[in-house]
Amino acid sequence: MDADPVRHNGGNHHSCGGDFSTNTTVAIRIHRSVMLAALTLACGSAHASLLTLQGQFDNAVEESAAVANQATYDALLMTNGGPCDPRQRRSQGSCSGNVFNVFASTRELVETANELTGRGPTEFSLGVDLQGLGTALRWTAGEEFSAQESLNADFVSGQLSGLATRMAALRSGASGFQLGGLAPDRELVAGLPAAARGMGASADAAGEVYAPWGGFLTASYGYGDRQATGNEDAFDFDGHELSAGLDYRIGNRWVAGLIAGSSEREIDFELVDQYVVDGGISSTGYSLLAFGLFHSDTLYVSLAAGWQTMEFETDRAIKYPSLNPDVASVNTSTVSTTDSQSWSWNATVGYGFRFAALAVEPYLKVDYTDTTVDGFTEADINNDGFELAVAQQDIRSLETVVGLRAQYTLTPRFGVFTPYLDVQWHRQFEADSRDISARYDAATGSTDDRSLEFLVPTDAQDPQYYVVSAGVSAVLRGARQRGPDDAISGGLQGFVAWRSVQALEYFSHEVFSVGLRYEF
């Protein structure tokens, strides 16, 4: 927007003196809105404000943005102890640079409300209707940042899925180096005696020897989309993950190991109906998980603890029209970078049943993740003052998973094929909506009043959803023992796998994995 040709109809303007921050520090959106509206009425203001329209906007994001923009405008007024003269037309004195730009843009929104209610100065009104004002408010709010949680949760989920795949292979006696973490020529679940599976460095009755060390690589590609809601924007996303792991068998019953992973994902925000949005988020993540496994012929228990870090690069567009020929439309973007740190814990218990070539395994999992997204400040590429200072976010997830996994081993003359199916029911116990707190960066030093904050609500998560996985693996070349004292090695297998999230409101998500396994 053009901040230079600023105009003001000072004759009609009246502001209630005093600092609102001395009257309330209420952080709850509804209470804050009510008190701001009451203060406006108590002052006998001669003009309307954005608060006059409270309850008429389409969603909580617009309602919160109305409160924050009105409070920012009031706090910057000289009559309220701020630096800006209500008659000021251009950047000057203590109300200069981005401080003036914020004042001018919030004044346009306030005077648009004046025009809609027929009270107060309207020279700087955008000239739009109530829906247009709500759209403009939404552009300023920064609800795009809620997508950072989705990226982080997806990365953690992907790493835990890879861990589960490796656990399945270990319980079946997998050894050597694997791409994909699958052991297609062995049983998926604990259904054979440990010695028959060649666990550890010991030999079975036939003299077969398997090394205690094992390793694997996994590669996956996922994509999906999110539908728009009143609180969050629509977007498409895709990305890939790579994981590498090393584990060591301690006797026939115990395994310990480490898994390292990396992830790259992209989010592209979409334009849907009145929820106009543009920009995107790029993320890069790294993880490290330590795990331990105990298993008997039928029962198994596993524990894992992990650390994940992600970097988010966000491009947030702010653009809304002005139908007033004397007020320029807004068209700018902000960019930002921040990091997140996550700690995750996982516990799984399962029991295996074997019916000839069919193996069935019911299991129960508990997953807990504690994530912190660092606070950060955006940069407006056009220096229009729309950059937000966003507070630190603390996000927790506690899920229980009830699953059933089955596979059937086919042994035709030309190879070994192992199709499998896995169905999970997820129950989320930290599903409540949360608020992302932000304020105009140029106004952060004007007052400590929390009413200046955009408290952008996220959607509550679905407490229940399902994950369905299916795949097939095949032996491409069998392992062999090169000498009487050599370990069995040289096996080569391939696999294709698919995973889909079901019954998660507003979301669709598919993941495909393809790879090879090689024993050394």
Q: What does the block give as tokens for 76?
A: 């910057």
Q: What does the block give as tokens for 270?
A: 């979409």
Distance of CA 152 to the CA centre of its chain: 4
Query: Does residue 431 surpass a pLDDT of 90?
Result: no
Mean pLDDT of 430-454: 82
pLDDT band for 361, please (50, 70, 90 cuts): very high
pLDDT of residue 413: 82
Mean pLDDT of 261-289: 84
pLDDT of residue 100: 94
Q: What does the block give as tokens for 211?
A: 């090394």
pLDDT (tens digit, 9 = 90+) per residue, 138-168? 999 888 888 877 877 776 677 667 667 666 6
End-to-end C-alpha distance for the chain, whole angstroms? 64
pLDDT of residue 168: 63
Question: Percent of the chain scored above 90 by pLDDT?
Answer: 47
C-beta separation of 76 from 67 below 8 A: no
pLDDT band for 4, please (50, 70, 90 cuts): very low
Query: Does residue 315 surpass a pLDDT of 80?
Result: yes
What is each CA distance from 382 to 72, 100, 102, 318, 337, in whole angstroms?
A: 21, 14, 13, 11, 17
Contacts of 36 (CB under 8 A, 6+ apart): 20, 51, 67, 70, 71, 451
Question: Percent of the chain scored above 70 by pLDDT?
Answer: 74
User: Does 27 or 291 have the greater pLDDT score?
Assistant: 291
Query: Does residue 41 surpass a pLDDT of 60?
Result: no
d(CA 198, CA 153): 37
Exposure string of 347-364, with b = 16+ CB inside 10 Å and e = fewer, is ebebebebeeeebbbebe
Query: Does residue 189 surpass a pLDDT of 60?
Result: no
User: Does 347 or 176 have the greater pLDDT score?
Assistant: 347
pLDDT (tens digit, 9 = 90+) per residue, 470-496? 998 887 776 666 666 666 555 667 788
pLDDT of residue 495: 81
pLDDT band for 170, please (50, 70, 90 cuts): low
d(CA 111, CA 94): 23
Query: Does residue 18 surpass a pLDDT of 70?
Result: no
Give which of 293, 407, 425 is closest to 364, Cα–Cα. Answer: 425
pLDDT band for 322, please (50, 70, 90 cuts): very high
Q: What does the block give as tokens for 197?
A: 């599976």
Query: Does residue 9 surpass a pLDDT of 60?
Result: no
Give the 3-state secondary structure of residue 291: strand
pLDDT of residue 437: 92
Query: Does residue 34 surpass a pLDDT of 50?
Result: no
Query: Does residue 444 surpass a pLDDT of 90?
Result: no
pLDDT band for 355, please (50, 70, 90 cuts): very high
pLDDT band for 105, please (50, 70, 90 cuts): very high
pLDDT of residue 447: 59
Mean pLDDT of 110-125: 93
Query: Does residue 200 surpass a pLDDT of 60?
Result: no
pLDDT of residue 289: 93
Query: Does residue 318 surpass a pLDDT of 70?
Result: yes
User: Does 174 or 274 have the greater pLDDT score?
Assistant: 274
User: Does 269 or 15 have the greater pLDDT score?
Assistant: 269
List the domains of the chain with CATH numbers: 50-139 (no CATH), 145-178+209-519 (2.40.128.130)
d(CA 98, CA 445): 12
